Structure 1
Amino acid sequence: MSDELFPRPAAEIAPGAVHLPGRLDEQAQAALLAACRRWALPPAGLRTVRMPGGGEMSVRQLSLGRHWYPYGYADTVVDGGGEPVKPFPGWLGEWARSAVRDAVRVAGADVYGTAPGTVPYDIALVNFYGDGARMGMHRDSDERSDAPVVSFSLGDTCVFRFGTPEGRGRPWRDVPLRSGDAFVFGGPSRLAYHGVPRTEPGSAPPGLGLRGRVNVTVRAY
């Protein structure tokens, strides 16, 4: 799925955390980006998230299946206009399950504690990183399910900082995520802190037609 001179191999970054470079080919990237652009339209489209303390996230976001707000889920945009959230597409869940099956081949059959083909993926967050946007260290702990999280990257390359479940500080590993890459984390790393300290503006594949980075994070509620 990659035309790089030296293809990047899949790698386990931490127990249960697997980087899958080039997981989406050019056609799949274009299809996912087109879907993201449809989802970004109102109602319940791309928005700026305001945190409880009054600050705003630099990353703009939308939800599928259930609406995420700090710090929970709802069926409507409860911190906005109250619109019903857009449905989660079944094909995106199958993409996520397929990525988990590939991650199992790297991390081992027992690391996620569930059959990869049966994970009931039903929600997703779509994040848009413009120039200068970043994501602080956090963990995905608002879901009731412990199923692996699957992240797909489009557009500009980012530095993905992956730490431990114990806290936001070191140790961590910085992993470059390029357009088309997937990242799966579950099992011992399901609640690991992670973030995006920076992106590389202008590094997106020219043929994709995207300035900035889009990240689609698929989860089971």
Structure 2
Amino acid sequence: MDEAYHIRCYGTAINNGFAEGPNKFLILTEPGNDVTQLQIGFEGPSSPDVKLVTLSNNNVNVTFVPIVGGDYRIHILYKGHHIYASPFKCKIVGDVASNVKKMVCGGATTKGKVGQDNSITLDGRKVGISGGLSARLVGPAMSTLTFLYNEDATITLGYNVTRPGLYKLFLKFQHFSVPGGYLKLLNKWEINGGTHLFPGSPFSILCT
């Protein structure tokens, strides 16, 4: 039992996932653990396909694909005993496209600073989205993008641009666009007397 208690799981998919798409988490074992003694079971509205891959450091990558959404419990045992925090409650989202539209964006969506770290908060907690996002920033200069996964299950997207001008930021989950995921960063000249935004663009960001 003591051996099982010291085994942990890491990854957002242990608590939140998506139907018909691969969901992944990592089982962190202890030195000397026999990974062949691990057992994984699912309680829920469907029986997912599960794939286990043992890494060179003896940790185990788990990939599972549930057929339908709903509330699941993931049971992970070692030598017949539950590991730490098992069973895990896992919310599987079924209709991905409509749930992505319910994500909320806040933060530096209207103003940004050149040469400084700017951040946007992405909140998908109501629909179980706490990871799996991608971002692309296109504009007149090189830029950096970073994702930070917060303890409250929100996500912080950081961006830093080196020159003012017109930028387009595309945010997606899988291949679905996040609402407001098409952003414009403009300098003062463009805002005050130069170009105008396209009608209906989600955000205009003043980047000075």
TM-score, structure 2 normalization: 0.22
TM-score, structure 1 normalization: 0.21
Point out the structure with max Rg over C-alpha.
2
Which structure carries more helix by proportion? Answer: 1
